[in-house]
Structure 1
Amino acid sequence: MSLAAEVLDACKARGWMLATAESCTGGMVCAALTDVAGSSAVVERGFITYTNAAKRELLGVRAETLDVHGAVSEEVAREMAEGARAHAPVQIAVAITGIAGPGGSEFKPEGRVCFGLACDGRETVTETVDFGALGRENVRMAARDHALGLLLTAANN
């Protein structure tokens, strides 16, 4: 069984609907979930917010947060996840923002991805994973799989 199918089964067992808020993955998490037949019982919507304007307009990420911390930050990932929950009738939302590459900087290197997970009745959690300069495609796939893992863990606890 695929990781996406496991997420769907775990959410379905809890009666949860989910949303994704994706930047550097461009919808890969939502696509992985909706590749599974029957996913409409769990997947409510996905937000692809590649630009800062989209993050502000669709998810309510504050301009101040973007200005102070930058788009690739746990603070923005938190606001993205919470914004997805606020803008969709769901119990759980995952957010991803990062630098897939090529490029990056000394302070925000290629392969750095920040995640947010907002879940009913729980504190929003965030984390940063440095996947390294694996190449754009590999960073995006690793971020997708990590986000699915976060969803699965939350749905099983």
Structure 2
Amino acid sequence: MSAPDGKGDTAETLSPIISEDIEKAAAALLKNCCSAELTLATAESCTGGLLASLLTDVEGASHAFERGFVVYSEDAKCELLGIRSERIEACGAVSREVAVAMAEGAIERSHADIALAVTGYAGAAPPGEEAGLVHFACGRRGGSTAHREEHFGDIGRGPVRIGAIRVALEMMRQALEQG
């Protein structure tokens, strides 16, 4: 795999809404994946494919992103990522256990070397749940899966999703560096 040619230092499509630091982090992550000949996958719920879109917007690094799963519903998490419905019922779709299962399912059902999963409440949360609670998991093929929990607060759907993208990129960078 070759590294991006310098044209792909920003994400063109999402540029109006994504800050420059996020664009640079995505471009750097993809460049490092190209250099290491590793690929990425995403399993997204509350971000609705925004992370995959960002990673595919960087010109010249398409071979570093293997695939994305947008698994917004519980059925999608089960059908596309192989998560047992009993696990979701027992833990809740927004939980450490389900985030880890999503990342591990994305690794198992793709050819990617690193998979990032995100599930949470970007907007209003159901009664008894916390608005802005997001669980992340990042796994590396043949390695362990890291978990992170963020409490963004009731700051609105867009800001939570952007904050989630920032955390996701950081976790993928860490997984790449731990190689």
TM-score (norm. length: structure 2): 0.84
Question: Which range is displaced more, 135-144 or 5-14?
Answer: 5-14
Per the alignment, in what secondary structure is the counterpart of residue 72 of structure 1?
coil
Higher relative contact order (CA 8 A, sep 6+): 1
Q: Which runs of 4+ in 1 moved over 6 A?
A: none
Out of 97, 100, 103, the position equivalent to 1:78 is: 100
* 1:122 maps to 2:140: no
Provide the rounded CA distance (Å) in 2 between the counterparts of 1:139 and 1:155.
24
> Please, which runs of 5 or more residues in structure 2 have no aligned partner?
1-8, 10-23
Asked if 2 retains the 8 angstrom alpha-carbon contact of 1:59 and 1:80, the reply is yes
SS of alignment partner, residue 110 of structure 2: coil
Q: Which runs of 5+ in 1 are unaligned?
A: none
Contact residue 10 and residue 156 of structure 1 kept, 8 A? no
Specify the structure having the higher radius of gyration (Cα). Answer: 2
Two-structure CA RMSD over aligned residues (Å): 1.1
Which residue among 58, 61, 84 is the counterpart of 2:80? Answer: 58
User: Per-residue deviation at 1:134?
Assistant: 1.1
Question: Which letter does structure 2 place at the counterpart of 1:12?
Answer: C
Give the whole-Å Cα distance in 1 for the aligned partners of 2:61 and 2:119: 24
Aligned position for 2:56: 34
Counterpart CA distance in 1 for 2:125 and 2:40 is 32
Q: Distance in 1 between matches of 2:106 and 2:152?
A: 25
Which residue, out of 125, 146, 166, partners 1:145? 166
Offset, 1:79: 0.6
Percent identity among equivalent residues?
43
For the residues of structure 1 that align with 2:38 and 2:132, how far apart are their CA atoms? Answer: 31
